[in-house]
A and B are shown apart, each in its own frame.
Chain A
Amino acid sequence: MATLTMIEAIRATLAYHLEHDDRVLLLGQDVGRLGGVFRATDGLQERFGADRVVDMPLAEACIAGAALGLAASGLRPIAELQFLSFAHQAFHQIGPQIARFRYRSKGRIPVPLVIRAPFGGNVRTPELHSEAIEAQFAQTPGIKIVMPATPYDAKGLLMQAVADPDPVLFCEPLRGYRLVRGEVPDEPYTVPFGRARVVREGEHVTIVAWSAAVQLAERAATALAEDGISAQVLDLRTLVPLDVEGLVSAVSATGRCVVVHEAPLTAGFGAEVVATLNEECFYELEAPVARVAAPDAPYPIGALEEQYLPTVARIVRACRQTVEVTP
């Protein structure tokens, strides 16, 4: 067992797959000698060769589209998009092509592949680098959407992603790459998709989050505890598949829920969480489900990031208001 940052956990997992599975290729911009702009692939080209860790031309759609073809040929490509925001320029290959290729070929040409993409704000990147656009892909059935929050989950979910028979969009929280450390077993293991994780037990309110927002939720829960409010934190881990059962059982236990995400409020994945709770456990709820999200404004440039993104204070306030509601 080693204590690793998330980026170290991801790198170790990529190395494991390159070492143990001849079908695995890594492709992306600057993944070779540079080791990726965040060093997720540091040293891997040197170790496994330029035929397996492939620097690609700067063309996101082609990285995704070529990954489809490589998967169809029998390989297991793991493609890196430098930022999830850049997936805008690959959307037509990810949603309409990769996600539906099994379906449109009636199972004849499955394209199991992984697209890794760091995302999220508060790291002062230039414009068009920080958007949390995960919900857009939930509208293109056929692709799974994975959002690890910890180094342990990053490894286990990535191992599951490579083993999974369906294509996977693996979104990595940029802010947590080096910030979050955790114990990661040396041996291989998978974290199954569609199983939410109870991060912290609590009685009065359930905070639902994924990816970097999980740490915010934990900090909010700590702050709330000082006021005698016991908040449960639930990490969804994967949006597709969504752990409906785990979500409903967690929220039913407290009767109150606050959903947190970095994406703009309208049609963010939080809306899906609220609608699901409405369908599944409306009568268990003692207060309206609240959302803490970014405003419906474009992601701003650096000096406005902190104001734009959900904060611990906003989550705390939303939880207090939710807890105060008398049914």
Chain B
Amino acid sequence: MEPAFPAKTAAEPYAVLDAQGRLLTDGPPPLDDAATYDALRTMMLVRHFDARAFSLQRQGRFGTFSPVHGQEAASLGAALALDPERDWIVPQYRELPALLQHGLPLERFALYFMGHPAGGYIPEGVRVFPIQIGIAAQLPHAVGLAWGLRYQGSDSVVVTFCGDGGTSEGDFHEALNLAGVRRAPVVFIIQNNGWAISTPTTLQTAATHLASRATGYGMPGYLVDGNDLFAVLNVVRAAVARARAGDGPTLVEALTYRMGPHNTADDPRRYVDRDVLDARQELDPILRLQRYLSSRGRWDDDAAQRVQAEIATEVDTALEQAMSYPAPTAADLMDHVYADEPARFTRQRAWFEQEEDVTWRR
């Protein structure tokens, strides 16, 4: 049975599970226990990857990197609503759970943040755009992609992400406005994690909720508990169904919380109160899902240990693959700037290929 579409921009975010992992609705949960277990496992894997990447960065073996910590459900819940065989994800840079769910191999993601250009290459058949660093710049791309796919007769849907900070950019406004006008099959997910580096959402907007902006673009907007995997999945599923049916775009604000730093160069102790952060631990999306599965007899200490061991091996394998990837070469520096290279560019390429003073290393 399809989940009922949640109430429109309620003052309280739409939720399916409370912090204790108890179902708040009478209907069936959007995932069965086996699928919920798999989702939990993906979220735990990303949490573990965060920790490993962070320590590797401190050892100088990983580049500047933004952990997902705390936002696993908001990201994964959206991707679970998609069909990887036809739908696209146009990400920002903090959506590892969604990208994994949609088919991006973990070592590609690791390569990108190790600074290896091969990390930008999305394997054929994986319908994902490269990670975007320019804030909100991906949103007009997502609209164009969705519009173009539909124009060519496809029923594909595009899901794109930005943060609360991204909603202040002109590209956010321009993209949502165009999506509304063209009824593009795109779902915008704002991951409102409370912070744009150190700037709180209260300094980003005077609006009570970012979801309410949808009204101004002639599309529905939904406020959802972003730490509740089931709630995010329900809302995005409904938005995807709407887009697929030709009824246009939807804006979803997922209320979540960034429990780690903005990135490895950030020190949130300078601006996040310790007791605020402590209070958020109880709302951890992973904990919530563990409590839920535990209440159904599908999760205990043994399961936790087993999963932890499995994902540690999986993450190690991906990191080893990424680290053993051949060092970049002159071709990595110069390939794909142009499909049809200017002659002077080809001369520059030849210089880099032959110059002995340039060393190529990781």
Question: Hey, which bits of chain A sit against chain B, CB under 8 A?
Answer: 25, 51, 56-57, 59, 61-62, 64-75, 77, 92-93, 96-97, 100, 102-110, 112, 141-142, 144, 164-166, 193-194, 240-242, 244-245
What is the chain B residue whose CB lies nearest that of A106? B121
By a CB distance below 8 angstroms, the chain B residues around A93 are 137, 140, 171
By a CB distance below 8 angstroms, the chain A residues around B152 are 73-75
Known: A62-B174, A66-B140, A69-B145. 14 other contacts (CB 8 A): A65-B171, A66-B144, A68-B144, A72-B148, A73-B151, A75-B148, A96-B134, A102-B336, A106-B120, A141-B338, A241-B342, A241-B344, A241-B345, A244-B344
- Per the 8 Å Cβ criterion, residues 115-157 of B in contact with A are 117-118, 120-122, 124, 129-130, 134, 137, 139-149, 151-152
By a CB distance below 8 angstroms, the chain A residues around B181 are 57
Select one of B124, B147, B336, B343 contacting A194, CB under 8 A.
B343
Bound CA–CA A105/B337 (angstroms)? 10
Whether the pair B144, A245 counts as a contact (CB closer than 8 A) is no
- Is the C-beta of B177 less than 8 angstroms from some C-beta in chain A? yes
Question: Hey, which bits of chain B sit against chain A, CB under 8 A?
Answer: 117-118, 120-122, 124, 129-130, 134, 137, 139-149, 151-152, 170-171, 174-175, 177-178, 181, 335-340, 342-345
By a CB distance below 8 angstroms, the chain B residues around A97 are 134, 137, 141
**What are the 7 A-B residue pairs with the smallest beta carbon separation, nearest first?**
A69-B144, A65-B140, A73-B148, A241-B342, A165-B339, A62-B174, A66-B144
Whether the pair B178, A56 counts as a contact (CB closer than 8 A) is yes
By a CB distance below 8 angstroms, the chain A residues around B147 are 66, 69-70, 73
What is the chain B residue whose CB lies nearest that of A113? B144
Known: A73-B149, A109-B130. A66 touches B143 (CB 8 A): yes
Can you identify 26 A-B contacts, CB atoms within 8 angstroms?
A: A61-B174, A62-B143, A62-B171, A62-B175, A65-B171, A66-B144, A66-B178, A68-B144, A69-B140, A69-B141, A73-B144, A73-B148, A75-B148, A100-B337, A102-B337, A105-B122, A106-B117, A107-B121, A107-B335, A108-B121, A108-B122, A141-B337, A141-B345, A240-B342, A241-B343, A242-B342
By a CB distance below 8 angstroms, the chain A residues around B342 are 194, 240-242
Whether the pair A142, B140 counts as a contact (CB closer than 8 A) is no
